[in-house]
Amino acid sequence: MTTKPFVLLVDDDPSQEAFALLLSQKGVDAKHVLPDEITTEDLTRANLVLIDEFIETWPGRDKVNDSLGLFVRDGIALAGVLRSALEGRGPSSENPPIPKNTALVLRTGHLNVLAAGTPGFVRPMAIASRHDLEWVSEKREISASTVASLARATAALPADWSNPSDPAAQIEWLGLAEKPWLDQALAQIEICRPPWSVLAATSAGRRWLAWFLQRILPFPTFLVDDLRAASYLGLKPSALDALAGGNSRLADPLKAALYTGQLAEFSGRRWWRAGIAAVKGLALEAADGRNADDIARAIVTIHGSELEQLALSQPVFQIDADYRVVAEALEVSDAVRLQPDDWPSYADDPWYETALAGNEPSLDALIVIDDRADATDVLEG
């Protein structure tokens, strides 16, 4: 019998028993414990430990509040203690640490305070990376389904990371096996510098998990969201389901492009960039030109009925001051590129409507040097 993934929920609120029960209804085993009740057996068994940030009621800790070296102030500090225990670090150097891929996730009701000054979109990634956590989330935003998905993905991590030249297990984890454009997808993954050799091997795959959660899913990389997948085809997102549900020769290739691997349910639907490119290639065979508008018209013809089109030649997307993507696409000639902090260099550039230059100082400061002249013309015009 296959062992279910196990989630250990550490929270000083007794009502979290209800969340543990909800988790158990999502196909994982779950247990809620108070901080003083954490045992080595439970910790060792856990695929994912969900930790409350502010632990106000903790009798054992309160007994040592005058001993700074023993006082575990919050959930972030507790995560460090648990990581050390998981890997068997200390108290001497006789035995090297043993890597364990247990995911540590912080739940907080005050992410805006914990990440004060950081744009809203990148707060989870920034805080998780800073504190050696796999993920950070607002309590009200992380559902039982999301936690269960992450626990299953962690439990499914490959056991062997010693041969990056044969990433068969990673391909299976990604749900990429037997795709006709597998080589193109692997090449795009390589561009994103996956830690599937030394860093993965020395962390039992935990670094891979953190990379995928923090550097891949949130950004347009080898996986893209509905907005960008549709835009590469000159379409609006609503057209994707209509096209995939049709009977044209594009329907099956589009359905094959849907990402169905681990964490497919974590943060919204994603598509393989290589798969969307394959659909685009089929459309180009019938297109009169090569820009997005030409491709969209060809797709409508092949589909046999109307689809919502962007009517743009080279659509791009801008971000707001919180680094969140603005849903309405722009023509590339009407925008300048941005280079925000912590935005991966291998991801699609975020953009900023040139006509808005001067309206948002925090974005004005991020304009790529080569594009600043265009923005200056607007400001001085």
Closest by CA to 32, choosing from 42, 45, 44, is: 42
Please count the residues of the chain. Answer: 381
Q: What pLDDT, on a 0 to 100 scale, did the predictor assign at position 1?
A: 45
Which pLDDT tens digit goes with each residue over 128-154?
999 999 999 999 999 999 999 999 999
Query: In this structure, what are the phi and psi dihedrals at residue 90, rounded to the nearest 5 degrees?
Result: 70, 180
* Rounded Cα–Cα distance for residues 58 and 74 (Å): 10
Q: Please state, in angstroms and as integers, the Cα–Cα distance from residue 357 to each residue in 186, 228, 373, following that order.
A: 38, 23, 11
- The pTM is what? 0.94
Q: What pLDDT, on a 0 to 100 scale, did the predictor assign at position 381?
A: 52
Cis bond upstream, residue 91 (ω within 30): yes
Q: Is residue 74 within 8 Å of residue 54, measured between CB atoms?
A: yes
Structural domains in the chain, sorted by start: 6-155 (3.40.50.2300), 168-216 (no CATH), 223-303 (no CATH), 315-380 (no CATH)
Q: Which amino acid is at 311?
A: A
* Rounded Cα–Cα distance for residues 4 and 24 (Å): 10
DSSP category for residue 37: G
Q: What pLDDT, on a 0 to 100 scale, did the predictor assign at position 90?
A: 80
* Rounded Cα–Cα distance for residues 140 and 248 (Å): 42
Low-confidence ranges of the chain (pLDDT < 70): 1-2, 376-381
